[in-house]
Amino acid sequence: MSRRSYFFALAAVLLFSLCLQAAAQENFARVRGTVYYWYNLEPLKNSIVTVNSTPEQTYVARDGEYSFSLPPGTYTITARYYRDNVLLYFAEENLVIPEIGGDYVVDLIAFPLFEDTEMPEENALIPPLETYESENVWLVSAAVASLILVLALAVVYYLRSRRKRMPEPAPARPAQEPVKYVGLPEDLQDIIDRVRGAGGRITQLELRKSLPYSEAKVSLMLADLESRGLIRRIKKGRGNIIILKE
């Protein structure tokens, strides 16, 4: 076989593999999105995103972004963030894909877990870090064949890596003097200082643990501060998030 015939044979196999891959891809919808941290809505890096497809797919969102290829159906997409094998933040969204094809964007906002939040027992440990690029066997086979052919024609095709620009650090904010409210009782001022010390946002459970008061008294004190227009409480799950209004 001449060199020219060999080249055309390889090109034909490559074209066939790409057509097979494209045909298989048309039967799937692309689902993508970003996992955000609830406090500042910044991407939550190294989150573990899972979708209950068959088989189940798991994606490690190292920069907070994830992507799946899914056929029509009803799915639940969950995001988890661990630190030292402890689950700290969790998000869950349901998705219905009515027909083949399409591009769906599903962003997830991961909130902290409250003490009384019920989670499935299997979520106590980090799941295996397996990432499925596709659940279709033909799609995987076509991708492998394409990779082999690209390597065989390396003299023609070259891989170029893209340099990602690092985000510039945000300028530091000047320190502000703590605000003291005239006529505010000392115990209520203490709560204001603690919320401000936590960055202006804190869960009611964390605040109660840091105060020498009962849960009922803390709730009454927060209601007093809310009536004065100094804080705002947001209901999340079975707990509250306290936000300082300044």
Evaluate if residue 246 carries a pLDDT over 90: no
Predicted local distance difference test score (pLDDT) of residue 79: 97
Evaluate if residue 71 carries a pLDDT over 90: yes
Evaluate if residue 63 carries a pLDDT over 80: yes
Q: Which two tokens stand for residue 79?
A: 């995001």
Mean pLDDT for the chain? 77
* Strand blocks (E) in the chain: 29-37, 47-51, 57-61, 65-70, 73-83, 86-97, 103-105, 108-112, 201-203, 231-236, 239-244
Provide the pLDDT confidence category of residue 3 given band limits of 50, 70 and 90. low
* 228 φ/ψ sector (left φ>0, alpha ψ -120 to 50, else beta): alpha
Domain with CATH 2.60.40.1120 in the chain: 28-135
Domain covering 186-244 assigned CATH 1.10.10.10 in the classification: yes
Domain with CATH 1.10.10.10 in the chain: 186-244
Among the residue ranges 106-115, 140-149, 154-163, the one predicted with the least confidence is 154-163
pTM higher than 0.85: no
Evaluate if residue 107 carries a pLDDT over 50: yes
Q: What is the pLDDT of residues 124-139, one digit of tens each?
A: 444 444 444 444 455 6
Q: How many residues does the chain have?
A: 246
Q: Which residue has the higher pLDDT, 22 or 182?
A: 182
Distance CA 150, CA 148 (A): 5
Evaluate if residue 2 carries a pLDDT over 80: no
Q: What is the pLDDT of residues 197-233, one digit of tens each?
A: 888 899 888 888 888 888 888 888 888 888 888 888 8
Q: Which CATH architecture has domain 28-135?
A: Sandwich (2.60)
